């Protein structure tokens, strides 16, 4: 019995969050996204930061550590290291959307656009409101020369996050380009 308790204690960091914790997290996200729709210039960034904070918590200290290591490796320019950490994360926590999103970023930065698109698709299947993943999708579609689909992705992201200057700028840039082409 003691060894079972010890084993559970050692691996408690990889047990998925309870249904109640997951439900509470979703309710918090719903509230934040609702507030983001009506936010003003004084508080939208705080709401965005809270959303990113919730997205970055898997419910497991071990998985959160893999995410942090992957993100640190990205910032340090160690894309192979980042992909290794984030692949371990997606293997062990396939329901954690931010693991897929972070790895999509690492793949994008390493020029692996197809792999990045696969991870963006997985991110969006788990968290359809992920404006970061939608923005990444828009960037890749632009690189492929598919401005119409890129604009669609950016507009979708903007509908979710109407205050992001980056997304607004991408929409304006592609709309202006489209007007020139007509």
In a domain, 2, yes or no: no
Q: What is the mean pLDDT of the chain?
A: 90
pTM score of the predicted model = 0.86
**Do 90 and 63 belong together in one domain?**
yes
The residues, any chain, with a CB within 8 Å of residue 109's CB and separated by 6 or more, are: 74, 79
31: tokens are 């509230």
In a domain, 166, yes or no: yes
List the single range of 12-26, 43-57, 148-162 with lowest mean pLDDT.
Answer: 12-26
Return the pLDDT at 22: 73
Q: How many domains does the chain have?
A: 2
CA distance linking residue 51 with residue 79, whole number of Å:
25
Q: Which of 62, 58, 109, 60 is nearest to 83 (CA)?
A: 109
Which single residue is written with the structure tokens 């507009």? 155
In a domain, 46, yes or no: no
The residues, any chain, with a CB within 8 Å of residue 105's CB and separated by 6 or more, are: 74, 116, 136
In a domain, 3, yes or no: no
> pLDDT band at 62, cuts 50/70/90?
very high
**Do 179 and 146 belong together in one domain?**
yes
Instruction: Please determine, for residue 41, whether its predicted confidence score (pLDDT) is greater than 50.
Output: yes
Structural domain for 96, as ranges: 54-112
Q: Which of 112, 142, 157 is the last residue of a domain?
A: 112
List the single range of 2-6, 11-15, 85-89 with lowest mean pLDDT.
Answer: 2-6
Q: Residues 43-61: what's their mean pLDDT?
A: 96
Q: Are residues 113 and 139 in contact, defined by beta-carbon separation less than 8 angstroms?
A: no
Return the pLDDT at 11: 46
Written as one string, the DSSP assignment of 76-120 is HT-HHHHHHHHHHHHHH-TT-HHHHHHHHHHHHHTT-HHHHHHHH
Return the pLDDT at 19: 66
**Do 171 and 145 belong together in one domain?**
yes
Q: DSSP strand E in the chain: where?
A: none
Buried b (16+ CB within 10 A) or exposed e, 13-49: eeeebeeeeeeeeeeebeebeeebeebeeeebeebbe
In a domain, 5, yes or no: no
pLDDT tens digits, 125-180: 999 999 999 999 999 999 999 999 999 999 999 999 999 999 999 999 999 998 88
Return the pLDDT at 28: 96
Q: Which of 63, 79, 112 is the last residue of a domain?
A: 112
**Do 60 and 108 belong together in one domain?**
yes
**Do 59 and 105 belong together in one domain?**
yes
Return the pLDDT at 178: 87
Return the pLDDT at 18: 57
In a domain, 136, yes or no: yes
Instruction: Please determine, for residue 16, whether its predicted confidence score (pLDDT) is greater than 70.
Output: no
């Amino acid at each position: 019995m003691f060894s079972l308790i010890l084993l559970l204690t050692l691996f408690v960091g990889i047990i998925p969050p309870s249904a109640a914790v997951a439900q509470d997290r979703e309710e918090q996200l719903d509230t934040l996204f609702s507030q983001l729709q009506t936010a003003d210039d004084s508080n939208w960034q705080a709401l965005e930061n809270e959303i990113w904070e919730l997205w970055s918590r898997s419910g497991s200290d071990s998985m959160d550590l893999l995410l942090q290591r992957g993100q640190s490796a990205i910032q340090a320019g160690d894309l192979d290291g980042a992909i290794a950490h984030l692949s371990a994360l997606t293997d062990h926590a396939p329901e954690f959307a931010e693991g897929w999103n972070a790895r999509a970023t690492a793949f994008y930065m390493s020029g692996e656009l197809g792999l990045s698109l696969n991870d963006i698709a997985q991110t969006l299947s788990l968290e359809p409101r992920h404006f970061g993943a939608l923005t990444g999708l828009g960037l890749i579609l632009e690189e492929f020369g598919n401005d119409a689909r890129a604009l669609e992705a950016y507009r979708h992201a903007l509908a979710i996050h109407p205050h992001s200057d980056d997304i607004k700028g991408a929409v304006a840039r592609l709309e202006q380009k489209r007007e020139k082409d007509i």
